[in-house]
Structure 1
Amino acid sequence: HAEEGLRAAGRTGQRNAAAHLHAVLALALSVEGDEAGVAAHTGRAMDTARRHGLAQAAALAQWASARADLSRGRAPEAAARLRPVVRPVARGGHFAVRVLAIPCYVEATALAGQAGAARSAVEEFAVWASLGGDPQAPALLARCRALLDPAEAGDWYERALHRHEAASGEFERARTLLLYGKWLRRQRRPREAADRLREALVAFEQCGARGWAEMADSELRASGSAPRSRPEGGLAGLTAQQMRIALLVADGATNREVAVRLSLSPRTVDHHLRNVFATLGVRSRVDLARMVDRAHPADPAPPEAAAVRAVRDRHGPHAERPRAHPRA
């Protein structure tokens, strides 16, 4: 939509609108990890924004550049870019962007060893999160608390992940998993760190966030885990519960059907399935089914799968096709 709008703005000479659209494209590319694209669109946005006094376009462009810095581990640079963006409006920040950029600013300052500078901003973000207008804000607030309170970070990260389950936004959830995994690794808890980092890696890959996926992969290697191209142990690396869920899903069961069969909640099934995807290095239910078929090409369907099909026969043909996301 931004690209189409940019073409229309070019045809009609709407330079201010074009600057905003360049900033939007820079933000999108900062998720993908396209540094060259971010730099090009940010440059075009800032050129017009400075000349025409477009505070919002400038703030969005700076936010995009900071996210690109964070995806490459350049926290001090990201903090420096975001500092003027999150200032109070009277001192230069833009009211529609500054609060939304606070979680990035907190992450950048904390990773750069400057956490104290972000404490007042977090309290302002807490007010924003309490208003209920942004479904992701409670999860992001808990992530901010984790970054500023290392002693209690584990509890805060768990709260953040719980909050992410109630809102859409896989990219932000993956960023929380990445930060949690980093913290666990530094706490010398490599196995737990690897679990979170694998989950982050899969989520980033599903979002097309290549730069962020590379960072998760690098953290995985630092934790002592095998490269993602050689999943550790294949199906043998799954727990018994994960194996039961994987076999049912590979046979075509939805998360809800698996939950009924195994007497679990759908959310618990979803959590286990995410870990299955992360452990096996697969991206979709179809990939999982292929891996199971390769591992057990001649095996009959497990009894759990037969039970699921029986339930489906009783309640009607409402099965879903395999999806690219572990949720049913």
Structure 2
Amino acid sequence: MNDREFVLTLSCPDGRGIVAAVANLLAEHGCNITESQQYGDHYTGRFFLRTQFIAEARPGAGPIGEDGLRAAFAGLAAALPAPAEDGADPATEWRLWRRDRRPRTLVMVSKFGHCLNDLLYRWRSGLLDADIAAVVSNHPDLEFLAGSYGIDFHHLPVAPESKRDQERRLLELVDSYDVDLVVLARYMQVLSEDLCAKMSGRIINIHHSFLPSFKGARPYHQAHARGVKLVGATAHYVTADLDEGPIIEQEVTRVDHTHSPEQLTAIGRDLESVALARAVNWHAQRRVLLNGSKTVVFR
């Protein structure tokens, strides 16, 4: 990757000629498309597009810069289909990223370290398209793990009477580390509505069951008591509605009557790690677009 590789994401009311308009604009500015995906949602009337491209040298001139691209896309967005008159269909939303800009990520964890360990290993091994800047926990137990990877660890204990102050300190860390994404890697605390609103679309949680079933404590024990044949994990964006945010990825496996609750827990932890890593990578690669209460994921 270099500073001439970009990703464009766009969503707007569906209509004719959107793909052609984007492709023609890129061609006119000397850009070569290397990957492009699009989807029109019949049910919401929205169109979604992700295009990856390289800004190449033009005859008699160098490649167009990021500012020039932003100005060109702003003009394009203004010419795309207008929203519905009743205001139910929002206007065009678009974003442009340089591919060499990896999202700076803060990981939050409590006492279970399997997801954190998996993310740190992938990051150290070059398998994660995000940079882990720091780890925050409401317990000190996993400081050794973050330290073994040379990652800053911040212990921010929380209690009902100190929750507001703890979240204020968390936001200070988000600012000081220039964080783009917060990952809840089995962070067993509910975030406030205010924090969810301030970080909307920028917090990913891994839920230790296949949503929406078996909510609450000890989900694998609940699953065992019901004799389930599948266990799973769900990675989703965090909203003020607990465990109801737009789902990014889910992972499942078959089980049977011979599995104990402890075995289901062990299996589930593997599923959690895989689902969360995929969700973080897809978010980091700008492959996830919000579509109301759900997502479009261009894999």
Using the size of structure 2 for normalisation, the TM-score is 0.26
Which has the bigger relative contact order, CA under 8 A and spacing at least 6?
Answer: 2
Which has the greater radius of gyration? Answer: 1
